[in-house]
Chains A and B, each alone.
Chain A
Amino acid sequence: MAAVEVKNLVKHFGKFQAVKGISFSINEGEIFGLIGPNGAGKTTTLRIVSTLLTITDGSVMILGHDLAKQAGEIRKLISYLPEDAGAYKNLTGRGYLQFIVNFFDPKEHHQMLDKGIKITDLGNRIDDRVDTYSKGMMRRLLVGRALMTNPRLAILDEPTSGLDVINAQEIRKLIKTTATSGTTVLLSSHNMLEVEYLCDRIALISEGKIVEAGKPRTLMEKYKARNIEEVFIEVVHE
């Protein structure tokens, strides 16, 4: 069974068509990347899959649940990390993680919290208020929040956005490890190197349409490109 099955997905905002009938599927345990320029429809697609936006047309099945009818069930299985997410500024890092954990099975609270603290790697600063965190610390906290709940599908919008090279590298390793343990990952990124390193398969999206999809290596061979960036330019300029 595919973890995510998107068929002919269409999304309108008034007269503006943000997504124009895209289709793709993601296998369980796979890391799937949506790549495209600003305004291509990546974030809209991720927001739909994460139950935030409604569908204009088409269908989305997530782990056997119909998104249009079973959004509540889907929310128990997914975790979404928005690109420009924040945390409650009056809480400490630990307090924020605890607040999130409280929405899940009480038997798993301890394990989830410990995992979250480990992922964030904030040391003693985990007990400081969130409004004292740097941008990098905030992003690590949010990645920890997204992955600590052992989601079956993690939807990550620009997961390394705003992080320096070292922090970004750690987060990438973490995403790889998470997928190895069975979590399916759907991510978007501008960073082609990151995509090449992380993703089992990718879809290139431009102006609301998927213009190419496949394994990074296969696509590079197909377009005789040295990296995904060249593939992307080749496809978009075709």
Chain B
Amino acid sequence: MSGLGNIIKKEVRELLTPTTFLPIVLVAVIFGALGSSIQGIQENAMTPPLIGVIAEDTGSFGNITSTILHTNAKVVYNSTSGADQQAGVDAVKEKNGVALIIIPQNFTDRITHGERGTLEVFWVMKGAGVFDSISSSMLESLITQINTNISRTLIKGNTTANATFVLSPTQSVQTTYFKNREFVGISPNIIINTLSQQSLLMPIIMMMIIIMAGSIVITSMALEKENKTLETLLTLPVKRTSIVTGKIVAAAFIGLLLAIIYMIGMGYYLTGLGATGGINLAAFGLVLTSIDFIWIGVSLFVTLIAGLSLCMLLGTFAKNYKSAQTLTFPITMLALIPMFLTLFADFDTLPLGLQVFTFAIPFSHPMMAPRALMFHDYTLVIAGIVYVSVFAIIMISIVVWVFKTDRLITGGTTKYPKLKKLFSRRRF
């Protein structure tokens, strides 16, 4: 065998270990499952929007509008009286629809007289994620299509009206209903953009802390083994719980410190983004009170402890610094997945399977907490804190148990010798 072949053989054998492969396989399985679920959400969102239509106007432009809506959307409520507005909104809400559109009596008249016809749109918004905006975007494109068709009709009729009006003969007045609140004059996309900017901070903070502090904990355990200091530490008069807690608290402190430094820059960046658009959420009573911030703090704290306990458990498997780097990968993924999920869709609008998956990841909870608290959804936040606390207690108990066994010193004896043999067998 050549020198090169010999080196390659040795390197491959060194890297072909369960520690290298299992985290990647696990993450691949998680992503596979996520992909199927997200595809389901997208397909669901791409179906024709469910709407209600109140067509008061029987004129030509009213008919064009009504026809386009009936052809391209699934109309779940139909009426010809503006007095049915509330009934229409209720029906759309009940049928899980997108909006109620009112074509007012004077719609055709106004356009005929060179004034913009006004469509009244009452949006029923279900979630504030990127996927939640797909249905409303489809309806908005229908409204644009209505505008284009009326414009085309006006041009064909050799109207003498001015070009600006002919190219834009309609306008819409929008009201959005979201989580039992009424946003007058605001479309769902503006609300989604504003909320996304507002709640982007917490997922990034959480992700940064977990990745930084998590890798500190895992590396710390690996270095204790690599530097041969672990045996001495474990024979000193100090409780196993103190060793575990000490490592977790120190990593949490350093992680927080690093995250604060990072977030100072990110804060300026997000402030810059906020200045470019959006709405003042406080005007709609959507503000976080000091009590809400305490809830967020508690959620963040218990999640940090839970996450670092999980890292500590992973750290007990690390043999050295190199294997510690591999073990930080699943933690990074677990922090990234809820971050993207909370950006794509609201927890409420996720399919049940994804809801369970998102809830099960401890890192999801502080990411979801600010928006939930803004809309007074305390149940989700408190349930999350309780779940994460139980998760943390279980993790710490397992870690302390591992510290009391031989595993840390001997690396453990596998219950699956065939699996171990498969990875350790000489193949070359």
Contacts and interface: CB of A to CB of B under 8 A. Distances in A.
A166 interface: no
Contact of A87 (B229, B235, B410, B417): B229
Contact of A80 (B228, B229, B232, B413): B232
B235 A13 contact: no
B406 A54 contact: yes
A86 interface: yes
A47 B232 CA distance: 11
A76 B229 contact: no
A51 interface: yes
Contacts of B239: 72
Interface of A is mostly: loop
Nearest to A96: B229
Contacts of A140: none
Nearest to B410: A13
Interface in B227-250: 227-229, 231-232, 234-239
Interface string A80-123: 11101111110000000000100110000000000000000000
A141 B381 CA distance: 52
A78 B236 CA distance: 8
Interface size class of B (residues with CB under 8 A): 10 to 19
A88 B229 contact: yes
A100 B409 CA distance: 20
Contacts of A50: 235
A82 B233 CA distance: 11
A79 interface: yes
B229 A86 contact: yes
Interface string A2-40: 000000000001100000000000000000000000000
Nearest to A87: B229
B232 A103 contact: no
A13 B409 CA distance: 12
A42 interface: no
A84 B228 contact: yes
B237 A80 contact: no
B229 A13 contact: no
Given A13-B413, A14-B413, A54 B237 contact: no
Given A75-B236, A103-B236, A53 B410 contact: yes
B236 A100 contact: yes
Contacts of B355: none
A145 B409 contact: no
Contacts of B235: 50-52, 75, 78-80
B42 interface: no
B405 interface: yes
CB-based closest 10 A-B pairs: A86-B228, A14-B413, A80-B235, A76-B237, A86-B227, A82-B231, A75-B237, A50-B235, A103-B236, A53-B406
21 contacts: A51-B234, A52-B406, A52-B409, A54-B404, A54-B406, A75-B235, A75-B236, A75-B237, A75-B238, A80-B231, A81-B232, A82-B228, A85-B229, A87-B227, A87-B229, A88-B227, A89-B227, A103-B237, A103-B238, A104-B237, A142-B232
Given A13-B410, A103-B238, 9 more contacts: A14-B414, A14-B417, A47-B231, A54-B406, A82-B228, A82-B232, A85-B232, A88-B229, A104-B237
